[in-house]
Structures are given as structure tokens and as C-alpha cells.
Amino acid sequence: MSNYPLISLAIWTPIIAGLVVLATGSDRNAPLARMLALAGAIAGLVVAIPLWTGFDVALGTMQFVELSSWIPRFNINYHLGVDGISMLFVVLNSFITIIVVLAGWEVIQQKVAQYNAAFLIMSGLMNGIFTSLDGILFYVFFEASLIPMYLIIGVWGGPNRVYAAFKFFLYTLFGSLLFLLALMYLFIQSGGSFSILDWHKMPIGLGPQIWLFLAFLVAFAVKVPMWPVHTWLPDAHVEAPTGGSIVLAAIALKLGAYGFLRFSLPIAPDASHELSGLVIGLSLIAVVYIGFVALVQEDMKKLVAYSSIAHMGFVTLGFFMFSAMGIEGALVQMVSHGFVSGAMFFCIGVMYDRVHSRQIADYGGVVNTMPKFAALFMLFSMANAGLPATSGFVGEFMVILGAVKFNFWVAFAAASSMVVGAAYTLWMYKRVIFGDVANHHVAELSDINNREFLILGVLAICTLWMGLYPQPFTEVMHASVNDLLRHVAISKIQ
Amino acid sequence: MEMQKLYLLVPLAPLFGAMIAGLFCRVIPRWVAHTVTIAGVAIAFFASVAIFNDVQAGHTFNGTVYTWLTSGDYRFEVGFLIDSLTTTMMLVVTFVSLMVHIYTIGYMQEDPGYNRFFSYISLFTFSMLMLVMSNNFMQLFFGWEAVGLVSYLLIGFWYTRPTAILANMKAFLVNRVGDFGFILGIGLVLAHFGSLDYATVFQKAPEFANTTISLFEGRDWATVSLMTVTCICLFIGAMGKSAQVPLHVWLPDSMEGPTPISALIHAATMVTAGIFMVARMSPLFELSTTALSFIIVIGAITALFMGFLGIIQNDIKRVVAYSTLSQLGYMTVALGASAYSVAIFHLMTHAFFKALLFLAAGSVIIGMHHDQDIRNMGGLRKYMPITWITSLIGSLALIGTPFLSGFYSKDSIIEAVALSQIPGAGFAYFSVLAGVFITAFYSFRMYFLVFHGEERFGKGAHDTHHDDHHGGHDDEETTHDHHHGLAPGQKPHETPWVVWLPLVMLAIPSVAIGFIAIGPMVFGDYFKGVIFIDHHAHPAMEHLSEHFHGAVAMGLHSLTSLPFILALSGVVTSWFFYMKRPDIPAAIQRRFSWINTLFENKYYFDKINEVVFAGGARVLGKAFWRGGDVATIDGVMVNGSAKLVGWFAAITRFFQTGYVYHYAFMMIIGVFVLMTFWINRA
């Protein structure tokens, strides 16, 4: 099994497929471009699945490792591998790519090949981020993945797309510059190594650790995004096309959170302990403050965007409690959020395609004309509110339970999302879906077609599966998370 | 092994029915939907009977079905605990559910959402069974939230009606407030006991009897008993689900749902989940007298003050709803008095007679063509004899008529509270006694106004009624001006057999179950090894059993006791007020108008919630959004720094004019400066 370079396949299959799609050229070949894109996305998932099925759950170390020299002069290597922390995200990303290609099937009629190519290439680059074990390789993937997203928002986006694309790009670029400085520092300190695994083992004094931690924090906090560097996300979501929102929510937000586990905690464990209060404080602000902000949004996409920030607050909270429940709960929350927020944004896209409005006030009584859609949207809304038997519950439950052990009042603040999260989600649902038919736009709505039903149905199955039987998802994490916790518990100060 | 398959069958059969009826609700004909769901629930009921017999023979079970999740040292499993408490709940749930399923065929026959409705009530049955059969807190919470979801779906069943969709959201959110406490309680259990498995937790519980935790590190005053905090957190969950003050506000509004679910969910089963939970956790609650005091006071407030509100309601369903609130208060009081078995006993009898009363109310509503205002009824006994008799039985059982089921359970509660020593028991005793009079008064006010006296229906114009039927998605205009209620000259009629048969079936246990069950259930060994009471600290139950000399003696003895006299005087007073001298209540209403205003506004709970919590949250959200995100972060930090760059660029732009003579001039100045510098140095 591991004779094949599986990770390279997971990275390059979608990228090559993307280039092939790009080669189809103008919109005259749009049907071909779509078919090729779908085939490429499916191939991407097919090559990613053996990573999960062939994964040895007993091992906490890197698996499917690939190592070859890239730029020998600076000791930069093409070094790839997955562990229990990153593996699921490769699979999730490859899966979401299929959803995204299908989501734009009928909606995108302009520059079809370029649109699909952007998503496929981005998918490959993101797999690269999750699997890189070399600092420079990581950085290259990390920065390169900004470009397709920038283009997706800037070209296929809404009326205010240029402002949103710039805001997105500058925010993340600002963060990654500090990150690059940190990489340089580590390269010099380690005596010329860009290997992330070497950096994990390298002793560092508390002072430098704190500077490193802060540099990482800025870079990753922007990506997650954490309060107060979150304001690019609602704008980006509102302007992005449906597919862009899905990738942004389901995958892009996970990159920052993943960075905490791959860089901040293992490289600067003492600083992580030292500054955990800061991160937990910011996470709780995200959960509570953003929850209230979400409550008063009038634009559905903004509402779900803010709810994403609140859900990601649970993730960062879980990481910095330094317990297995916390970290695994956070990882589960990340995967679940991929399904649920992806589905939520798709649902909003379904309505937007028909009515061309995202304003809650423009809807009302959608259930009368779209009963199938209303039922599925109900499921995802409930998952967003963290109802048991949906995936949304599992992560929240684990993080809250972990938090009670950590500190009762932290748990208290986090658990308040049970009320606020339900309030903003169900209030939106009530105003949009229930009630009498509000206007002629709603009266003329047609229920979801087979393509839309397929997408939502598959996501619904994932959501329920993960809610009813999360064990397959968490069992792959145990060994790696336990290794990480043991590692973080040992001081690096000499 | 065989029994384990049977255990699985009990929840899965209704789930199967719900999936068939729900997933294919647009394609299958109605008879398929109701047949498959009724079959599912009937299978669950008969399997429950078999399991009940098996447990009576001494075969309890506690085991895992599958491992849901492992994390760190913790295991979360889905499993069943089958003992006498579980089987009692299973029988109650499946029996009432079966009756409600049958009843629904008649009640919902004109509704376009027929299949969907059957799917929901079967899904509810599944969820409730998962809740009661659980052997751990995680699955309990799953069932807990799942019944909440179905309740949400069913209250908002007529989704075009603004009041219904507000009521269902309110119900869900108020329950979430309770769950907020509940999950913290579960978290405390896991953090300190290291497991969520009932058996493990209960076994370890005594070790933690004197453990204290500090809510604020280093503050002496913040040191509290672990068990007190845990139990109060868990009980907050019960307060939401079982609608105890101040989290009761959702239950009266839940009457927006169709009547069959008011009977099943909002009277007989779901709202008693909180009571069941506390009884199940008796080994924990027994360790904290403070928590029990808290419980008994909350229960007493609910029992008394919600009863008052029942007196002034004119909607037939709301009278029964407030009566349910008050009776849930009674059960809670019993829990506080450590009389867990009595609470479960009252839960059971109440499930039968309250489901009966609700379904009978539904029958009246059908007979009255969807007019729910009792002021428009009167004299219905002539037209609806079966509904009349069964309602009378239900009302008599509710007010505690000797030898009927409600008498045994309610009288046991009153006696247990009288013997309880814990702080708050005195107030609780007063409340439950006063509650007896009030219950009798409002129950028979409704009974007399509906079934006796002048026939007030068919008079045409009336304005304060609820439309309990129309609102399906294809008749939107009918919700506004569809005529409902009886037309002038039209008479009410008895309902079809699918409607009255469940009434009769429920009337039987309403009469007999108390007499049969009190001996074994309350005073016998029925709950041995299931419910734990610290007789030393809370001796009420022990003393109570000393006074018990059989069901017959208890009934005879009560004829001279205070509760019976209070109940009787309640009935007589309401007869006098509403049959003989209707001018008296009107005069009282005028004389004490401030009380009437207070009651009509339901003690202003709704107002306060609306203004303080709902309004406050929106104000806070706006402040955070406009003030925090838009003004401060985007306005000052993001766009501010962009402006700063722009400003800097604008300044430097002055030097980049593009005119050659500007540059030449600058160069000459530069040369002069450098030369001056050079000359001075030299």
C-alpha cells in the first residue's frame, strides 16, 4: 500500500486535473470542463481514501512519509507525511472538492473552466498544506493557496468583491509575513534545518518561544479567524460565490487551526502554556461575543459566517486546554464544521440562485414551496445548533466536558453557546422557512432539483453518521493526540 | 441474548415507522403511514410488556450496545439499563403513545400533513424510549435533546401560523437554557467521577458526599459542596424539560401544537423526563440536602402559582396545560421530599388521566368544530356522552377522588411532604394543600362550563378562539377568515370511534392503576436497588410507610382528611360560582382587578423574558456588531491602517510631482545643503 506515493497523488491529482480543465479554454467547452473537473475531483477523493483505510491507528508518528531533496543548498526538502491530526483533513478536503464542483454545475456560466480549475488547484494546494513536513514547503503551499481563493472571490464574487478580496488577501498576507520571519529564525537556530519534526525536538528558551508563539498566533489567528482579526471573513463570505464560501468555511478556516497543532504547541510548548490564557480568552470572546453578533445579522451568509467564527472558537478553546478530550473534541468540531457549514452555505446558495437575495427579510414561508429543501435545511440548522445525533454536537460536547474539568467558568461561558447558537440559527430558520408565503419570489420558488438533493443528501448522511457513530473519526486521532500531549508536557527550556 | 434483541426492538420499531412515514411522506398513501407507525408502536408496547414481566421475574440488564466514542481515558457508550424504573416508563410511554397514534387517525384526518404528523410522533416515541432506556448520561442527553427537537417540530406543525412558529422557537430556546445547566452538571459528573455510566457514577457517589470545590480559586466563600453544585446543575435541566418556574413559560404556548401531541408530549411523557431523570439520579441527589431543598421550593412554587393561572383560562387546552404545570410541580415536590417512588407513581397516574383529559379536550374541540373557548360551550353532555363520562373520570382522578388513581399518588405526595424535615418542606406542604383546592376548582370550572349548564354554542360571533386545525400549506387564506366553531343552530356531535376508543382505554388505568400499584410501587420492593434513599438524612418515606395499611384503608381513611375536604369544597365552590351564581366570579374579578391583571399577564414572565432576555440579546448583539466589529475593528484598525498608509502616501506624493524644474530645484537645494555641510566640517 505505502509503495505508492499516496500523499503526492492526493496533492497532484487535483492540481493536474485543474491544469487539464484549464486547457479546455473558453466557455464553448464548458460541458467538457465540468465533466473533467468532476472526474478530477472524484479521482482526488479516490486517491485520498487509502490514507484513511490504510492508516495505522496505533501509530502516533507520521505515516505514508515521502522525502526527497528539493533545494539542497538550503536543506529544503519535499517532505510529506500524515498523522492522526492531519489525515482526516486531507480526506475531508478531497471530499469537499467534489461538492464544490457539483455546487457550481449550473450556477456558474462564465469562465467555467477557470472556475473549476481554481478549485481543483486550490484543493491540491490545501492537501499540500496539511501534509507538508518541511517549513518552506508548507509556506509555499500556504501562500499559493491564497491565490485561487483571491481569484474566486475577485472574479466570480458579488458586487463588493474587490474590497472583500483585498481585505482577505491583505489580512492573511500580513499574518504570514510574521510566520515567514519565524521560519527563518527557526532555520538559523536549528543549524540549518527546515524540517518541522526537527523543530519539534529543538530546545528553545522561553523568551524566543514567546516571540515565536506570537508570530504563529498572528498568522494562524487571522486564518481561523479569531477575534479581533475576524472581520475579513464575513465580507469574504458575502462576496464569494457559493463554492468559494463552502471551501472557505469547510477547509480554509481549518488551516489556521491546524497550524496551532503543527507549529505553536509542539515548537513552543512552554510559551503555549504561558499564553494559553490569552488564547482561551480570545476563544471565549469568539464564542460569546460573536454569538450575539450573529444574532442580529440581516444577511444569511453573514449570519452563518459569524456562526463559523463562533464554532471555530470552540476549536481554539479545545486546543489550549491541553487534554485529550479538548484536542480531539476540537478536531471533531473542525471536521463536523466542514460538513455543516459547507451545507449551510450551500443551502443559502440554493435560495440565492432562485431569489438573488441573501437578506432574511426577503424570505418567509419557503417551506410552502420548497418542502424537501426545508427538511434538509432543518437538519443542518439543528446540526449548527449542536443537536445530538448530528456531528455538530460531538465536538461541542467534548470541548464543553473537557472545559468543565479545566475550569468551571470557562465551561460556563462556552456552554452559553448552547442557547445563543440555537437562538441565532433557529431565529433565522423561522424567519426564512416558516410562516406564510411572504412575497411573489417565494411563491415562485421551485424545490431543489436532483443535483442539489444529491449534494445535501450526501452531506446529511455525513452529518448524521458522524453524530451517531463518531468513533471511526476519533480513533485515528488518539495516538497522535496522545503523543502531542506528552510532547507538550515536557519543557523545552534548558 | 434473546432479551437483548427485544430491548433493541423497543426503540427501533417506532424509529422504523417514523422513517417510513417521514422519508416517503409525499408518496405513500395515508393508510400506509398510520399502519406502519401504529404497528411500530404496538410492537414496542408488547415488547415492553414482555420486558416488564421479565424484569418482574428478576432479570435486570445493564449493558452496552456500541461504543459511541472514546477519548483519552473516557469511554462514551450507547447502552441500555433495564430495571423496574425503566420498564415503568417504557410501559407508560408506549401505551400512551399507542393510544395517541390511534386517536390521531381521527383527529388529523382532514390535515394535509397527515403522514408527516405520524412520522413525528413515532420519532418522538423512539427518542423518549432512548431517553428512559439509557444507561449513561450521554445517551440520556441525546434522548433529552431529541424529544426537544420533536417537540419543536410538533409545536410548529402548522408552520404558517405565526403564533405556532414563535411558540416552538420559544420552547426550544427555553429548554436550551435548561440544557445549559444540564450539560454543566454532566460535565461535573465526568470531571469528578471519570465516567458517565450510571452504575459507575452511582457506585462512586458516596465517596464524594463531602467533597467541596472552589468556584473561585482562593476564595473561601466560593467553596461549595460538589454534590450540591452538580445536582442543582442537573436539576436546571429538569426545570427546562419539566417546565418548572421560571423555565415554565414555554409549556402554555406549546398548546399551539395539535392536541394529540399536547396529550403525548406536553402532558404524559416528555415533560415528565425531568422527573424521571431526578428519580434515576437519586443516589446523587440524596447526597445534597441543599439541592433537595431547592427542588422542593421550586416544585412548590410551580404547583401553587401555576394552579392559580388555570382558574382564569378560557381556552380549554390552556386550562389543562396549567393543570399539567401544577401537577409537574407536585411531582417535583415529591422529589424534593426524597419520595422518588411517589413522584414516579404520580408521573404514571398523571400520564393516564392527563392524556385522557387532553384527548377528551381534543374530542370536544372536534365536536365544537375547532372552537376552543369554554365560554362558547355548555351542556355538551347530551351530545357527546362518551367524551363527557371519560372527562368526568379524568377530572375526578385529577382532583384526587378517593380510590381513583390520582388520589393515591397525590395523597402520598402530600403525606410525604408533611413528614419531610428538609428546609422548605413547610412551604411546600402549604402549597400542595392549597393546590388541592385550586385544582378541584379549576378542573370543575372547566367541566361545568363545558358539559353542563346553558348551551352557549351556535350563537355566531365570537372572537377569542383558537383555530386548532387549519393552517396546512395549501389553505393559507383559511387561517385568517375560515369560519370555525359551530354555525348558528348547529349542534355538537360525538366523535368517531378512533377518537373515543383511546379515551375509554385511558379511562381504565385512570380509575384503577392507583389502587393496584400503590402497594408494591410506593411501599413495596418494586424500586428496590433502583431508587436510593438516605433514610437517616431524609426519613419521610420511612415514616410514610409506617402509616400505610393497604389501599382500601388509605381510601377510607382519607374521607375524613383535610385534602378530601379541600377537594370537595373546590368542586362545590366552582359549582356554586359557575352553575348557580355566575355573577359572583364576575364581581370578584371586578373587585380584585389587579389580581386578575396579574394572572392574565401570567405574572409578567413573558414580558420580562421578551424585554430583558430577547430584547437584551438583540441590543447586545447590535452593540457588539456596530460598535465592536464595524466601528472599532473595521473602522479604526483595518480601514484606519489603510487610511494611514494612504495618508502617508499622499504626503510623499507631494515630492513626486513629475515636473523637471521641481526636481532640478530640489537637486540644487540638495547640492547647497551638502556643500554647506562639507564646508563647515572642513
Give a three-class secondary structure readout of chain A.
CCCCCHHHHHHHHHHHHHHHHHHCCCHHHHHHHHHHHHHHHHHHHHHHHHHHHCCCCCCCCCEEEEEEEEEHHHCEEEEEEECCCCHHHHHHHHHHHHHHHHHCCCCCCCCHHHHHHHHHHHHHHHHHHHHECEHHHHHHHHHHCHHHHHHHHHHHCCCCHHHHHHHHHHHHHHHHHHHHHHHHHHHHHCCCCCEHHHHHHCCCCHHHHHHHHHHHHHHHHHHCCCCCCCCHHHHHHHHCCHHHHHHHHHHHHHHHHHHHHHHHHHHCHHHHHHCHHHHHHHHHHHHHHHHHHHHCCCEHHHHHHHHHHHHHHHHHHHHCCCCHHHHHHHHHHHHHHHHHHHHHHHHHHHHHHHHCCCEHHHCCCHHHHCHHHHHHHHHHHHHHCCCCCCHHHHHHHHHHHHHHHHCHHHHHHHHCHHHHHHHHHHHHHHHHCCCCCCCHHHHCCCCCCHHHHHHHHHHHHHHHHHHHCCHHHHHCCHHHHHHHHHHHHCCCCC
A388 neighbourhood in chain B, CB within 8 Å: 141-142, 144-146
When pLDDT is cut at 50, 70 and 90, the band that residue B460 belongs to is: low
Which region among B42-51, B300-309, B363-372 has the lowest average model confidence (pLDDT)? B363-372
Residue B217: closest C-alpha in chain A:
A407
Tell me whether residues A419 and B186 touch, CB distance under 8 A.
no
Tell me whether residues B215 and A408 touch, CB distance under 8 A.
yes
Which of A171, A290, A325 is nearest residue B74 as measured by Cβ atoms? Answer: A325
Which of A167, A404, A471 is nearest residue B70 as measured by Cβ atoms? Answer: A471
What average pLDDT does the segment A87-100 reach? 92
Tell me whether residues A387 and B66 touch, CB distance under 8 A.
no
Q: Does A323 touch chain B (CB under 8 A)?
A: yes
B162 neighbourhood in chain A, CB within 8 Å: 435
C-alpha to C-alpha distance for A168 and A488, rounded to whole angstroms: 32
Residue B71: closest C-alpha in chain A:
A325
C-alpha to C-alpha distance for A168 and A154, rounded to whole angstroms: 10
Which region among B33-37, B140-144, B607-611 has the lowest average model confidence (pLDDT)? B607-611
Residue labelled with grid coordinates 364576575: B586
* The pLDDT value given to residue B521: 87
Helix (H, G, I), strand (E, B) or coil at B63: strand
Chain B contacts in chain A segment 211-230 (CB below 8 A): 228
What average pLDDT does the segment A24-40 reach? 85
pLDDT in tens, B198-251: 999 999 888 888 888 887 777 777 788 889 999 999 999 999 999 998 898 999
Please, are residues B310 and B438 in contact by the beta-carbon 8 Å criterion? yes
Output the CA angle A127-A128-A131, nearest 5 degrees. 85
Give the H/E segment covering residue B431. helix B425-451
Which of B144, B183, B633 is nearest residue A231 as measured by Cβ atoms? Answer: B633
Q: Does A423 touch chain B (CB under 8 A)?
A: yes
Q: Does A285 touch chain B (CB under 8 A)?
A: no
Q: Does A412 touch chain B (CB under 8 A)?
A: yes
Q: How many CA atoms lie within 13 A of A263 on its CB side?
A: 33
* The pLDDT value given to residue B97: 94
* The pLDDT value given to residue A303: 93
Q: How far is B503 from chain A (nearest CA, A)?
A: 33
C-alpha to C-alpha distance for A244 and B535, rounded to whole angstroms: 65
Tell me whether residues B634 and A430 touch, CB distance under 8 A.
no
Residue B579 reports pLDDT greater than 60: yes
What average pLDDT does the segment A182-187 reach? 90
* The pLDDT value given to residue B652: 76
A475 neighbourhood in chain B, CB within 8 Å: 70
Nearest to B133 by CA among B97, B67, B86, B83: B86
Please, are residues B454 and B578 in contact by the beta-carbon 8 Å criterion? no
* The pLDDT value given to residue B682: 64
Which of B152, B183, B476 is nearest residue A436 as measured by Cβ atoms? Answer: B476
Residue A382: closest C-alpha in chain B:
B149
Interface test with A, best of B71, B170, B216 (most A CBs within 10 A): B71
What average pLDDT does the segment A437-465 reach? 91
Which of B146, B152, B184 is nearest residue A412 as measured by Cβ atoms? Answer: B184
Query: In Å, what is the CA distance from A77 to each residue of A6, A126, A138, A187?
Result: 17, 18, 11, 13
Query: What's the full length of chain A, in residues?
Result: 494
Helices within B452-521 (DSSP H only): 478-481, 497-517
pTM of the model: 0.90
Rounded (to 5) percent helix, strand, coil in chain B: 75, 5, 20
Tell me whether residues B191 and A401 touch, CB distance under 8 A.
yes
Q: What percent of chain A has pLDDT over 90?
A: 41
Give the H/E segment covering residue B74. strand B74-82
Residue B214: closest C-alpha in chain A:
A408
B74 neighbourhood in chain A, CB within 8 Å: 325
Residue A379: closest C-alpha in chain B:
B149
Phi, psi dihedrals of residue B470, rounded to the nearest 5°: -85, 160
- Please report the number of interchain residue pairs, chain A to chain B, with beta-carbon separation below 8 angstroms: 148
Q: How far is B624 from chain A (nearest CA, A)?
A: 6
Which of A404, A430, A470 is nearest residue B68 as measured by Cβ atoms? Answer: A470
Residue B651 reports pLDDT greater than 80: no
Tell me whether residues B160 and A469 touch, CB distance under 8 A.
no
pLDDT in tens, B160-205: 888 999 999 999 999 999 999 999 999 999 999 988 999 999 998 8
Give the H/E segment covering residue B388. helix B385-399
Q: What is the ipTM of this complex?
A: 0.90
Please, are residues B256 and B323 in contact by the beta-carbon 8 Å criterion? no
B150 neighbourhood in chain A, CB within 8 Å: none
pLDDT in tens, B472-517: 443 333 333 344 677 777 778 888 888 889 999 999 999 989 888 8
Tell me whether residues B172 and A426 touch, CB distance under 8 A.
yes
Residue A144: CB atoms within 10 A of its CB come to 16
Helices within B272-315 (DSSP H only): 273-280, 282-285, 289-312
What average pLDDT does the segment A282-300 reach? 91
Residue A238 reports pLDDT greater than 50: yes
Q: What percent of chain B has pLDDT over 70?
A: 96
pLDDT in tens, B600-639: 888 888 888 888 888 888 888 888 888 888 877 877 777 7
Residue A475: closest C-alpha in chain B:
B70
Q: Does A65 touch chain B (CB under 8 A)?
A: no
When pLDDT is cut at 50, 70 and 90, the band that residue B541 belongs to is: confident
Give the H/E segment covering residue B224. strand B223-225
Give the H/E segment covering residue B405. helix B405-419
Buried b (16+ CB within 10 A) or exposed e, B468-495: bbbbbbeeeebbeeeebbbeeeeebebb
* The pLDDT value given to residue A3: 67
Which of B166, B213, B620 is nearest residue A292 as measured by Cβ atoms? Answer: B620
Q: Does A325 touch chain B (CB under 8 A)?
A: yes
When pLDDT is cut at 50, 70 and 90, the band that residue A178 belongs to is: confident
C-alpha cell at A170: 491583505
Q: Does A367 touch chain B (CB under 8 A)?
A: yes
